Structure 1
Amino acid sequence: MTITLEAIEAEQSRISKLIAEFKKQPRATEFRIPAATIPLAPGERYAGIVLGEDGEPSHHLILLPGDVDDVSWQDAKAWATEQGGELPTRREQSLLFANLKSEFEERAYWSAEQHETESGWAWFQYFDDGGQRYYPQGNEFRARAVRRFIPSVI
């Protein structure tokens, strides 16, 4: 095999393109979660850490004890407030399904989120298959309350 200048320049061009593509890749980073002591009241369950839209830790999620059956979305929100919490967001419901599914009946539970474009509709999650759907707020589903714990450094 004869080595030519053209062959060397072509190989150099190919390697330069590989290097440029490599440099475009996201760099490896460290992901730190500072230690936190999270106080839990009797019956509360720690669900996990929730990440924000930016991928950074946002808050710790705690599932409150108790549930309510067959309530509209508005009544579910009021009930959660009476328990000292709120309905979970859709993202939080996904975390609850992943980490505490056994704490739920295999039924639909209201989320805190209204549908973005359908007035009078809200999101809920099935705790049998994990699916999230939306339905009119007057329908009656189950509800669980959560609280959020944000340590001074998260």
Structure 2
Amino acid sequence: MQQIQLPPLVDGQIYLHGRINKHGDVEHTVLVAVNDKRLPRDLQREWAKSVGGVLYNRIDALVMYNEHLELVKPEAYWTDDDVEWDPAYAWCQYFSHGDQIIIHKSAELRAVAVSRFTI
């Protein structure tokens, strides 16, 4: 069986997952930081950029829920995914019970920053 070559990580980073993108390349996702300060989503996006990442998406959130639950509190965390039918809302991940729901972007939630890259 062929294995994916894991990329080198910087101290404090945690490898979350790799997936094959539409071009056939392996896209790696690495956890950069967790922000337990509650902020509106736009401010959490700014925070993620300030630590060298982006907010994680709904797929990353499911991986975290299933494989890295110890890294977050049993609270709600923003994702970077907008709600397609209402731009005032975005998706969040509840780590207390695993639900992903939509909530107004002005709500103050925690956040996870990730880095994505191909090698």
* Superposed pair shares fold, TM > 0.5: yes
- Where structure 2 has 5 or more consecutive residues not aligned to the other structure, the ranges are none
- Identity percentage of aligned residues: 25
Aligned mates of 2:113, 2:44 — CA distance in 1? 9
* Structure (1/2) with the larger helix percentage: 1
Which amino acid is 1:127 matched to? F
The corresponding residue for 2:45 is 77
* Structure (1/2) with the larger strand percentage: 2
User: In the comparison of the two structures, how many residue pairs are matched?
Assistant: 118
Deviation readout 1:29-54 (Å, 9 max, x if unpaired): xx855x424121111111122355x6
The corresponding residue for 2:91 is 123
Q: Which secondary structure does the structure 1 equivalent of 2:45 belong to? A: helix
Deviation readout 1:116-139 (Å, 9 max, x if unpaired): 001210100011211100100000
Normalising by structure 2, we get a TM-score of 0.88
- Where structure 1 has 5 or more consecutive residues not aligned to the other structure, the ranges are 1-30
Aligned mates of 1:138, 1:73 — CA distance in 2? 7
Higher-RCO chain (CA-CA 8 Å, sequence separation at least 6) = 2
Aligned mates of 2:20, 2:67 — CA distance in 1? 15
CA RMSD of aligned residues (A): 1.9
Q: Which secondary structure does the structure 1 equivalent of 2:54 belong to? A: coil
Normalising by structure 1, we get a TM-score of 0.69
* Regions of 4+ moved over 6 Å: none
